[in-house]
Each structure stands twice: as C-alpha cells, then as structure tokens.
Amino acid sequence: MVDTRPFLPVSSSDGSNPSEPLANRCKTMKMRLSIFFGLLVVGLFAALLTSNVTENEHGSLASSTTAKPEPLRRVSRGPGAGVSEKSNWLFGRDDENGVAFPWNNSMLSWQRTAFHFQPERNWMNDPNGPLFYKGWYHFFYQYNPHAPVWGDIVWGHAVSKDLIHWLHLPLAMVADKTYDKSGVWTGSATFLPNGKIVMLYTGSDAQAVQVQNLAYPADHSDPLLINWVKFTGNPVLVPPPGILSKDFRDPTTAWLTSEGKWRFAIGSKINKTGIALVYDTKDFITYEKLDGLLRAVDGTGMWECVDFFPVSKTEENGLDTSVNGPDVKHVMKVSLDDDKNDYYAIGTYHEKNASFIPDDPTIDVGIGLRYDYGVYYAAKTFYDQNKNRRVLWGWIKESDSEAADVKKGWASVQSIPRTILLDQKTGTHLLQWPVEEIDSLRLNSYEFNQVKVQAGSVVPLEVGPATQLDILAEFEIDKEALEKATGSNVTFSCSSSGGTVERGALGPFGLLVLADDSLSEQTPVYFYIAKGSDGNLKTFFCNDQSRSSEASDVKKQVYGSMVPVVEGENLSLRVLVDHSIIESFAQGGRTVITSRVYPTKAIYGAAKLFLFNNATEAGVSASLRIWQMNSAFIRPFPNLDNKSQ
Amino acid sequence: MKNTFSLALLHLSFCFTFFALTHISAMELHGHGANLIETTCQRTPFYNLCVSTLRSDPRSSGADVAGLARIGADKLKAKATATLRQITALLKVTKDPKLTTALRQCVDYYNAIVKYDIPEAVEAVVKGDPKFGVEGATDAANEADACGREFKNQPKFPIYGSNKAVHDLSAVVASIVQLLL
C-alpha cells in the first residue's frame, strides 16, 4: 500500500507506515534507512542553504552603534532613502542655524490669516463639493474636529455671499455610517436639470475599503443646506475588479453625455500608473463602468482629486461642466499622491470612448504643468452659474512643524478662490486670478510710478503695515542690458538655484515681502531672466523661502517655474500678502506660486515691503499699486438657531 | 511485504524532500516573514534598526508592508512615550536652568510626536491615505531632531540615545509608509 497523504510533517513517525516487521531483512533495511536519512539531510540542507543566501545578500552591515554622538539628519518630506534629499527645513548645510526656534504666542498668533478661509481651529485639507445655490456660495472641506493634524475626517461647511466673507455652519456630514466610518472623504457636487443637488463622496468604510456614496440636501428649500441625507442604499460604488481597496477615491462632478446619461471620473492606479476610471449613470444609484480610462500615465502613481472640465477657446467666461464643442478645450487635472502637487493638461475630450487626449503628450497629465508651483494641493473647480465663471479652490497646508501647529491650535488654509480660464494668448496655459470680489477688501492705496531700482539695490516702499496687502506691479528691464548680456547654456530652475543670493546678469529682481528693516528676514517674490546661448530669453518666476524666517523648523525651499512672456507684454505681478500666506501671480496668472512663511521678526508693525534688484547688470523700473487689505471677518454664522432648518 | 515497505520508505523520503523544498519556495513566493522584512528595510535609511525592531514583534512574520508599517509605528510610540517619561523625570531633578529650558522644549516636541504625529501615521496607514502617514512620521523625526538641537551648546545630552532612537525609527517608519503610496 502506498501512503497517499502528500505532505507529512518532518518529525512524524506516527506509525502511518503500513509496513510490517522488518527483522528478516536487516541488511536491506539499513540501506533503505540510509537512503531515507540521506534524503532527509538533503532536504534540511536545502532549507538551510536557501535562508543563508538571503542573509548573505546583505553582507556585513555597517556598525550602527557609535560611541560619539553624531548630528541627527533632518528628514525631508520627500521620497525615502536612496533619493538625494534637500532638507526641507534648513536650506543648504545641516545645522547652520543651530537650536530649534522657541515660538512664542505673539509670533504664532500673528500667523493666522485675515482673509483666507480657515476654520476656527484644528485641521483642514481638501476642498469638497463647492457650489452656488439660492444666493449663497457653499464650501465644504475635509476637517478634523479633534486635532490640528489629519485624522477623524468629517465634512466642514461654510457659506458666503461673495466667496470672501465666510460664515461657518455646523458640520455637514460626520462618520456615522459603516460605509464612511473610517472617514468622510472628498467628493463633488452635481446639479441635476431640476436644480437639485447630488453629492458623490468617498467613504473609507469600517474595513477601510474606499467606496463611493451618494448624499443630498435634506431640505432643498433651505438656502443654507445645513442638513444632509445619506442615501440608504450606500455605498453605490465599490472598488471594481483589478483596483485595490485603498486606490479608489475622490469622484468628480458629473457631466452629461449626448445620450443623456451622467458621466464622472475617479482616480486610481495600477502599479505605478496613475489612471482615471469612468462611470456612467442615469440616477446616481446604479453605475456602469466604462471599459476605457479617461487617461492613464505611467510612473505618476495614485491620482487623487481628479478634476475634468471644459474651458472656452474664445470667450472669457466659464462653462458648465457638461459643455462640449468645437470652441471648447478640456482640462484634466490630478493631484499626485507621490509628490503632493497638482498637475493639469489641456486637450480634447472624445465622448465616444470617454477619453482625454492632451494637446502635448510630453506634458501629459501629471508630468507637465502645475496649477501652482508652491504649496497647493487637492484643488477642485466648480461652475459658478451666478457669475458664469469657473472657480478654483486649492488646499494650502502648513510649512512649519506639527509641534508648532499643535501650539497654535490650527493647520491649513484655503487659497483665495481663483477664476480659471484658458490663456488665449498662448493656448498652452491656464490663467488663474483671484476672484474679483476680493477687491472689496481693499482699503487705502499707494501708487508708485517708474521707480528705478539699479542693479544690486533695494528700495523700501512706504505702505504702512505690510502684512495684509494686495500688490499689483509691472517691471521694465533695461533693454540695453537685455541685448548685451552674454547667453549661456546653463539651465536655470528656481528650485535648484541658490535663491536671490544667486546673481545673474538679468535677475533676480522683484519684491521683498514680509521683510524686516534689517532684511534679516525676507521673502522675495521675483523674476529671473536667463539668456540662452542662442540669445533667446527665458523668464522664470520664483518665491525664495530660504531667508523667510530665522526659525529653523520651517521649510526653506525656493519655488517657481518658467513663465511664458508674450511679445509686447511687460513683466507683471500680483501678490496677496496675508500673514503666513503669500499668493503670487505672474503674467496675469499664467504662472502662480503660493508660499507659507513664518517670520519671527518681520511680523506686525515690523513687517515691511521692498523692491529689490540683485542682478549684476540690468537696472529695472517698477510701477506699483498697493492696497492695505481689510480682514474678511470669517466667523460662525450668527443666530443660527433662529433660522429655519 | 518487504517490497512494499521499501517502496513506502522511498516514497516517504521523496515526499519529505519535496515538502521541504516547496515549503521554502512558498516562503519566498509570498514574501513570507524574514524576506519581506529585509526587502522592506532595505528601502529605509536605518536597515539594522528596522530589521531588529520589526523582528522583535511576533506579528511581523505574517505581515504585509502595511502591517510592518503598523508594527513600526507601535514600536515608535512605545519608544517615544518612554523617552517623554524620561524627559519629565529628568525635569523633576534637574537644577541647571539651561538644561531645564532644553528639556521643556523637548516635552513640547515629544507631545507632538506621541499625541499627534504617531496617531496620525497609524490612522493614515490603516485607513488608506498613506501620504499623511509619511507626513506624521517625518514630522516625528524632525521633532526629535529639533529636540536634539536644544542640546547643541550644552555639555550634557542626557537623552541622546533615546532621542536618536526615536529619530531614526521615525525615519524608518516614514520610509516604510512611503512604500504604500
């Protein structure tokens, strides 16, 4: 009889052996036993050998215990080990500034913004479901009610008549269902033809699977949309086959197809290829997943907060999300989980196979242009039917330490909402500009005409308090110097440059924001013109945080990008300064940079504004209009209990 | 009968060898235990620390990368909590005013690590938005670094060892969570 059990434990000798007495054949028995034990040894040896191999691959490891204390390496927030890291706190060499900064309450409370949206306390991240309804702009957002770090996420809610003066409302949705128990995450609103609103949002369910849920206002006659109802049949979508349970989030606003169905996209990834899945639905309850993807780009990783919308090629107004046609281009935007930046591509939408083809595949979604070259993520647009414009929201997180956030009791702000348009002059860029309603915050203004700033000089601008400002500036550079400058084939980039201490023939020049009198703290917002060996000029627009603060536990990077300058254009800037946030727009918003800065001295009355020119050869002349900005007095909605709910 | 016995014995031998060898390949195929720890730790800046920390927890032998991140975060929390206790104990007995100032600053940094950074990292890993886990763990390393710099111009750095362990382990955890992106 042959033993039919395939695997026997190593040490088993439990008598399953059906054989019988052996005494008669001692000699043969010994041989067979030797074979058995021989094979046993072979097996064991093989096992041992395999595990030895893996150990040897690592060889001898460097001793990790040293008797002498060595300086700790600051860890950047970028990719892990193996990638060259630029310390994100201290620009350049380690430990230059020594001891960590002892923040005091005066410094910390100065950091809070006066006219940017932020909740009264604690943590905020992604904008959610922005919309205009019955006379109010609504803004929802990812919120942690318990701490100034991400966690326990629910939906915060605020309303405004003008996108600037916000009033806080009660939380719109909390994590009270199994399908969003682990988090009420990002979602978008869609208007139905009858004017009703549906909200599709991601829930991290009780098993931490990412699912899509439907919610809608409890009472459509309530202009404040205070109460929300979650569809009893949730979740309406779960991760499809081939998609991991933690790679399925942030559904977009839906748009109508020519068949009268609703269509939306949702980001995901397959290995390291970022993708956008597409679904069609008639009722937001049952969905049909399309076979094709809206777009996929290798190496970009997980696509968060996908946004997809039309822009007019001919008009300077916004378009409803469902619009398509020959005078329309489409914009596809993604937030890349891997590098925490927002990217967009301009291209064409083909409804038939629900695909997006970028105009220029070399700058495809996720590998080309960014909305903003500073701190800006999870951005989302909505069509504002009130003023026929498309409005963009973006989350601006902190650039300081979490310990400081804990001390001050809050973290993150939103950018000022921006209108977004196709740049008709270039056709390759979008233009972003703060919504016009922000002009209502302007108080007294200061005008400066043709101020000459010679190469290597700084000119103070007397504008009174300099922590809440709206600055419009135009620069003209000395034409002769432009022509005479020798070109080189050295490529320039803001982020790898030494900031404003690195002098070129034709730059840097611009503004020093939140600077103290002695310039020990300063945040330059500036242009740098590089001349190629072929004589062609390239203009760069940068923000230099490296000397923004004497504190060592804040980010000290240089941000920015090349900005296209069209023939006949002057170099122009708009800068919004609001305490610890600076939003800067070059060439009408063709290139935008948002920075967070935390000066320790250049605060309150000690903060000043300067023009500067650190070029070696070219003089510049600047004309500016600068306004003091009022606070937006963002606060809780008054007397809410008396309002009908 | 003797033939049957011989056959059985031979069969047994082959079966055993086969079993032993397939068991080994199965281990490798599913990144079982030791292998996944080692390949994961290779992607962190402190390999030895990573391996010894993870291996010290019995859960690590069956864990996937998210599980290893979880274990790392738990170990980090224990180490950071212990270090915080060490700091507060020292504060009670220290008479040197400079040392007191430095230690007080470190209390703030370690509060951030224990009460905010690490819970944030754990929640991010468990709930599936790992970038916040990288943030939290990286910040923990930076807070430990900031604490260390409080002692830069001081003759004594009584918590050097613990603080370095917290810093290094935070960096390890951040790197492991980064793999989940």
Q: What pLDDT, in 10s, does the model give residues A466-487?
A: 999 999 999 999 999 999 999 9
Do B44 and B25 fall into the same domain? no
Write the burial class of residue A387 (CB in 10 Å: 0-12 exposed, 13-18 middle, 19+ buried): middle
pLDDT tens, per residue, chain B with 181 residues: 566 777 776 666 666 666 555 555 444 444 455 699 999 999 999 999 999 999 999 999 999 999 999 999 999 999 999 999 999 999 999 999 999 999 999 999 999 999 999 999 999 999 999 999 999 999 999 999 999 999 988 888 999 999 999 999 999 999 999 999 9
Q: How far is CA A218 from CA A130, A212, A225, in A?
A: 17, 19, 8
Q: Which phi and psi (to 5°) does residue A146 adopt?
A: -110, -20
Average pLDDT estimate for A141-146: 98
Do B56 and B89 fall into the same domain? yes
Global pTM reads: 0.85
Q: How far is A58 from chain B (nearest CA, A)?
A: 9
**Are A414 and A117 within 8 A, CB to CB?**
yes
DSSP code, position B117? I
Do B8 and B77 fall into the same domain? no
Measured distance CA(A385)–CA(A124) in Å, rounded: 27
Do B59 and B9 fall into the same domain? no
Q: Using one digit for the tens of pLDDT, what is the confidence trace for A485-541?
A: 999 888 999 999 999 999 999 999 999 999 999 999 999 999 999 999 999 999 999
* Option in A64, A81, A151 nearest B123 (CB): A151
Query: Per-residue DSSP letters for A424-448?
Result: TTTSSSEEEEE-GGGGGGEEEEEEE
The sign one gets for the Cα dihedral A114, A117, A120, A121 is negative
Contact B146 A79 (CB under 8 A): no
* Option in A8, A22, A73 nearest B5 (CB): A22
Confidence of residue A576 (pLDDT cuts 50, 70, 90): very high
* Option in B16, B105, B171 nearest A43 (CB): B16
Do B112 and B51 fall into the same domain? yes
Share the mean pLDDT of chain A. Answer: 89
Do B67 and B21 fall into the same domain? no
* Percent of all residues in chain B with a pLDDT value above 90, rounded to a whole number: 78
Do B48 and B89 fall into the same domain? yes
| Count of structural domains within chain B | 2
Domain with B146 in it: what CATH number? Answer: 1.20.140.40
Q: How far is A136 from chain B (nearest CA, A)?
A: 32
Q: Would you state the structure tokens that stand for residue A219, as one six-digit string?
A: 């009472």
Do B11 and B56 fall into the same domain? no
Measured distance CA(A278)–CA(A251) in Å, rounded: 10
Q: Would you state the structure tokens that stand for residue A497, as one six-digit string?
A: 């440059």
Range of the structural domain that residue B108 is part of? 35-178
Nearest of A189, A192, A169, A173 to residue A181 by alpha carbon: A173
Contact A302 B116 (CB under 8 A): no
Per-residue H/E/C for A491-531: CCCCCCCCHHHCCECCECEEEEEEECCCCCCCEEEEEEEEE
B173: contact with A, CB 8 A cutoff? no
pLDDT of residue B173: 98
DSSP code, position A80? -
Rg (CA), chain A: 30
ipTM field: 0.82
Do B104 and B131 fall into the same domain? yes
- A126 catalytically annotated: yes
Q: Which phi and psi (to 5°) does residue A419 adopt?
A: -75, 150
Do B22 and B58 fall into the same domain? no
- Residue ranges with strand state E in A454-596: 457-461, 468-477, 509-515, 523-531, 537-544, 558-562, 571-578, 581-586, 591-596
The sign one gets for the Cα dihedral A602, A502, A78, A430 is positive
Do B99 and B15 fall into the same domain? no
**Are A553 and A85 within 8 A, CB to CB?**
no
Q: How far is B107 from chain A (nearest CA, A)?
A: 10
Contact A81 B160 (CB under 8 A): no
Do B20 and B102 fall into the same domain? no
Residues of B numbered 64-93 whose beta carbons fall under 8 angstroms of chain A's beta carbons: which are they? none
Among A3, A126, A247, A342, the active-site one is A126
